[in-house]
Amino acid sequence: MSPEKMVTMANQIALFFESQPGDRAALVAAHINDFWEPRMRRQLFDHVSAGGDGLRPLVIEAMDQINEPVD
């Protein structure tokens, strides 16, 4: 998928969970781990490694709890 679409999707997840109680980063990570296929998660990790342009801070905060795909 395009990087713009991936950023939009990740940000929509973060925006939803920003209003939820509890560990919001863990909620974002759990959602991405449960519903994003490995190629999508790889693209997210690559985007963050390249600077993470456009991602909401909660997505960045959740990265240490997102399962990085094995290549």
Per domain, the residue ranges of the chain are 3-65
pLDDT at 13 over 90: yes
- This prediction has a pTM of 0.94
Tell me the average pLDDT of the chain. 97
pLDDT at 71 over 80: no
Cα radius of gyration rounded to whole Å, the chain: 11
pLDDT of residue 3: 94
How many residues comprise the chain?
71
* CA–CA dist 68, 45 (Å, integer): 7
User: Is the CA virtual torsion 57, 61, 65, 66 positive or negative?
Assistant: positive
